[in-house]
């Protein structure tokens, strides 16, 4: 079994291993495609033989990644409507996201 880790970013947890492409929430700051990102909130590391579980994080563990795409999801329509009172509001929302390629687990 390959080595994998569970990381936390954007309020969500992801199971990643080297070479994976993961779609995550947008990270605050100014980033562009090709930038290196380090995830230090590592909750679990498994190398096939033994498993290390953090409390809540593993202090020396890091996951290195590269931003491969910056985009936005499909439009979600938000509609508010009250019948018989001529009240209608329609908004669209496109959630921003990053696609990152996992380079290495340390």
Kindly list the domain boundaries of the chain, sorted by start residue.
4-105
Burial of 52 (0-12, 13-18, 19+ CB in 10 A): middle
Confidence of residue 1 (pLDDT cuts 50, 70, 90): low
pTM of the model: 0.82
pLDDT digit string, tens, across residues 46-102: 988 889 999 999 999 999 999 999 999 999 999 999 999 999 999 999 999 999 999
100 in Cβ contact with 24 (< 8 Å): yes
């Amino acid at each position: 079994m390959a080595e994998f880790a569970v990381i936390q970013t954007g309020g969500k947890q992801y199971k990643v291993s080297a070479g994976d492409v993961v779609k995550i929430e947008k990270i605050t700051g100014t980033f562009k495609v090709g930038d290196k990102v380090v995830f230090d909130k590592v909750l679990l590391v498994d190398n096939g033989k033994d498993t290390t579980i953090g409390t809540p994080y593993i202090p020396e563990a890091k996951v290195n990644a590269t931003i491969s795409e910056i985009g936005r999801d499909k439009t979600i329509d938000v509609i508010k409507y009250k019948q018989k009172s001529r009240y209608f509001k329609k908004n669209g929302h496109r959630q921003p996201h990053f696609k990152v390629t996992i380079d290495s687990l340390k």
